[in-house]
Amino acid sequence: MLTIYCALYGEAQEIIHTFQLKKEIGQTHFQVFSDEEKSVRLVITGVVAIAAASAVAEISAVYPPGREGFLLNFGTCAAGGEVSEGEIFLCNKLTEECSGRTFYPDMIYRHPFREAEAVSCARVKTSAEIREAGEHREKEETDRSVQLYDMESAAIYQAGSYSYGPHQMFFLKVVSDHGEADGSFQKKTVYDFRTRLTEILKD
């Protein structure tokens, strides 16, 4: 079973269409969609960390993933530096900004994506804050690779770790902005990657 967690319906819409997922009846806290074979399930968590963690905890309890289960967090993010909107990354490091804790999904599978760290923040970062963070990293001569910013990935990892191993969790992020996002989501951003994402998930 592949369980996909998205914060917003706009992020999930094309995945629902591609896999012909149908809404499950009886789920009261979160919207849940699945295919006829129950091999793919998609959950819309809502934004912010507590909502995402609650969704993972509840769904994992109702549908225990076991050794054959996989968790995929798919959604949009902000990015600093010379990164194009619409570019897609697989996260190899997750940092919880408020605590400084870091988490590392196992990168044991071959994949076609660029890799990057995702920093989970309590609020949307402004473009000025993202630029300042990039300048600080360069000044300190620390990791100069791409850094992404979202609100949920670190919480999803922590909640998921009770039911999944690090090799069973994946965090796929599409760059939608460079700070100060208005909360909307460009359907085209996901649509452009629909075929590519579908092929990868079905492999």
Question: What are the pLDDT digits (tens) for 49-100?
Answer: 999 999 999 999 999 998 889 999 999 999 987 788 888 999 999 999 999 9
Rounded to whole angstroms, the Cα distance separating 22 from 135 reads 46
Question: What number is the average pLDDT over the span 27-46?
Answer: 91
Question: What number is the average pLDDT over the span 169-188?
Answer: 71
pTM: predicted TM-score of the whole model, two decimal places? 0.85
Token pair listed for 33:
């969609």
Which residues, listed in sequence order, are joined to residue 33 by a DSSP beta bridge?
23, 42
Token pair listed for 144:
């100069």
The residue behind tokens 């549908």 is 63
- Average pLDDT score over the chain: 84
Single out the residue of 35, 41, 38 nearest to residue 20, CA to CA: 35
End-to-end CA distance of the chain: 13
